[in-house]
Amino acid sequence: MKMKLPTTPSFSLTGKRALVAGASSGIGLAGAVALAEAGAEVTLVARSMQKLEDVAEALTAKGYKATPLALDVSDVEAVQAAISNMEPHDILLNSAGMARHGAALETQLEDFDAVMAVNVRAAYFLTQSVARRLITAQRPGSLINISSQMAHVGAEDRAVYCASKFALEGFTKSMAIEWGAAGIRVNTISPTFIRTPLTEATFSRPEKRAWIEEKIKLGRVGALEDIMGAVLYLASDASALVTGTSMVVDGGWTAE
């Protein structure tokens, strides 16, 4: 009798629809590329239509499917209305986020509210909106929020940011429990410091660069390509039994 070998689950996203928030740059852009390369039809969301059109043009030039949609994710009512009028998205990648760093004793109310409005409130209701369309259509899905290694540890000058990302991890677990029976998986990706235009200011400070490189056990900062594989894994059937957890891509930062 011939041995029956197991079959590796597919990483293909052909026939899937994906919504990527924060798709105009950085991790969101990289995630959109990964999803499109795997065959997904990607809806690109950010505030700047010009930037989104540039991304969409670059993707379609390679034969991928991408459509720009200008939305401010902090405008929850506008997001809810837009998603409710669209075909369901099988995949959500929410990379929209913000940070205002500073000493905890110097935190201003407006800074706290601004970070929470995007990193918690907007992320919560964006995830809810995509899930609602899937549940109504009786379709499974994979919903991914970009979190941070700072959702698992603390750091000076990052009390508000850490609070927002710990909160995101919390609602991710609860949503995963509630929607599991519907076949909807909810996870986060928690990167270390990744080189993007937004992090260049941090890397330009020698003392901060030294601190980062000392904490990352692999001895280098992250690149956008380091996140793309994690996005594809969580979006695809390869992670069919993964929900309510965080994929930490931190080079060993949180190992200690």
List, in sequence order, every residue forming a beta bridge with 93; answer none if it has no partner: 20, 144
Q: Mean pLDDT lowest for which of 60-64, 195-199, 225-229, 247-251?
A: 195-199
The confidence band for 73, taking pLDDT boundaries of 50, 70 and 90, is very high
Whole-number pLDDT of residue 85: 94
Is residue 10 in a domain?
no
Query: Would you say 83 and 77 are in contact if contact means Cβ atoms under 8 Å apart?
Result: no
List, in sequence order, every residue forming a beta bridge with 246; answer none if it has no partner: 188
Whole-number pLDDT of residue 202: 80
Active site residue 233: no
Per the residue annotation, which of 64, 124, 161, 233 is the catalytic one?
A: 161
Tokens read off for 28: 């969101």
pLDDT tens digits, residue range 150-189?
999 998 889 999 999 999 999 999 999 999 999 999 999 9
Range of the domain at 193: 17-249
Is residue 71 in a domain?
yes
Is residue 92 in a domain?
yes
Is residue 134 in a domain?
yes
Beta-sheet strand order (sheet of 246-249): 65-70, 41-46, 17-21, 91-94, 141-146, 184-191, 246-249
Q: What is the CATH number of the domain that holds 87?
A: 3.40.50.720
Query: Would you say 96 and 73 are in contact if contact means Cβ atoms under 8 Å apart?
Result: yes
| pLDDT over threshold 80, residue 197 | no
Query: Would you say 91 and 144 are in contact if contact means Cβ atoms under 8 Å apart?
Result: yes
Whole-number pLDDT of residue 162: 96
How many domains does the structure of the chain reveal? 1
Is residue 1 in a domain?
no
Is residue 8 in a domain?
no
Is residue 6 in a domain?
no
Tokens read off for 252: 């060993």
Burial string for 102-129 (b: 16+ CB within 10 Å, else e) reads eeeeebeeebeebbbbbbbbbbbbbbbb
Is residue 189 in a domain?
yes
pLDDT tens digits, residue range 10-46?
999 999 999 999 999 999 999 999 999 999 999 999 9
